[in-house]
């Protein structure tokens, strides 16, 4: 049975290679440049091989999104762990979020801008996404304020961060006010 195991392992390796290559290509040249042909060429296989791993391009985007969600959760937890006060934790969280979006624009797009065929805010939402939301909520719960549902508060705070992330990346906001916007958001939304 060892032969089959090796084949399975090789298949899993190749699947990871596809996702990693798609991500790399997307970060380098944008998702538009991630065509099935180019992707196939980079992994040194023919196009149909991609379809033996994923139903289509959208599922590849979804795979990159899930990978990104996990990393984002780690980044946010790491940032908040080092902070002492609630104020600092929220600020660190917001910074970590926007930093991630800034440094991994393609992954961020896969997560929140493109259609990766994933379910959000539902029962069948993948664990990685639930956990990323949980990472947000852990820090935001303590500053939601009395009588405000932590989930709703997290949604609002997240939406604000998302708006800032997307609008500033598409150059629809003034770049020089980035820090002021973040401070304002934290000071006003969080109840300290």
Interface residues toward DNA, by CB under 7 A: 3-4, 7, 11, 34-38, 45-49, 51-52, 56-58
Closest separation between CB of residue 131 and its own copies, Å? 15
- Rounded to an integer, what distance in angstroms lies between the CA atom of residue 103 and that of residue 72? 11
86: partner contacted, choices its own copies, DNA, none (Cβ within 5-8 A by kind): none
Q: Which of 49, 38, 61, 48 is nearest to 14 (CA)?
A: 49
52 binds, among its own copies, DNA, none (CB under 5 to 8 A by kind): DNA
- Pick what 34 binds: its own copies, DNA, none; C-beta below 5 to 8 Å, kind-dependent: DNA
Alpha-carbon gap, residue 141 to 75, rounded angstroms = 18
Name the 3-class secondary structure at 126: coil
Neighbours of 90 (CB within 10 A): 23
Q: How far is the CB of 188 from its own copies (least distance, A)?
A: 5
Cβ contact 110:116 at 8 Å: yes
Query: Nearest approach, Cβ of 39 to DNA (angstroms)?
Result: 8
* DSSP H stretches of helix in the chain: 2-29, 36-42, 47-53, 57-81, 86-103, 105-112, 127-140, 150-169, 178-189
37's contact among DNA, its own copies, none, with CB below 5 to 8 A by partner kind, is DNA
CB nearer to its own copies: give 48 or 188: 188
91 vs 110: CA distance, rounded Å: 25
The residue ranges that bind its own copies (CB under 8 A) are 112-113, 115, 120-121, 148-149, 151-153, 155-156, 158-164, 166-167, 170-174, 177, 180-181, 184-185, 188-189
Between 5 and 179, CB nearer to DNA: 5
52 vs 125, which CB is nearer to DNA? Answer: 52
- For the CB of residue 151, give the shortest distance to its own copies in the complex, in Å: 8
């Amino acid at each position: 049975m060892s032969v089959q195991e090796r084949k399975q392992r090789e298949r899993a390796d190749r699947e990871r290679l596809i996702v990693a290559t798609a991500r790399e290509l997307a970060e380098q040249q944008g998702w538009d440049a991630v065509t099935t042909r180019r992707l196939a060429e980079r992994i040194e296989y023919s196009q149909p091989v991609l379809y033996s791993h994923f139903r289509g391009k959208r599922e590849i985007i979804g795979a990159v999104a899930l990978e990104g969600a996990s990393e984002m959760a780690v980044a946010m937890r790491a940032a908040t762990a080092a902070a002492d006060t609630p104020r600092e934790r929220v600020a660190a969280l917001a910074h970590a979020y926007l930093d991630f979006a800034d440094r991994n624009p393609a992954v961020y797009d896969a997560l929140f801008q493109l259609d990766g065929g994933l379910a959000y805010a539902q029962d069948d939402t993948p664990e990685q996404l639930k956990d990323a939301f949980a990472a947000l909520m852990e820090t935001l719960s303590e500053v939601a304020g009395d009588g405000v549902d932590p989930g709703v508060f997290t949604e609002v705070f997240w939406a604000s961060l998302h708006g800032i992330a997307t609008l500033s990346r598409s150059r629809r906001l003034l770049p020089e006010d980035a820090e002021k916007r973040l401070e304002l958001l934290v000071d006003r939304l969080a109840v300290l």
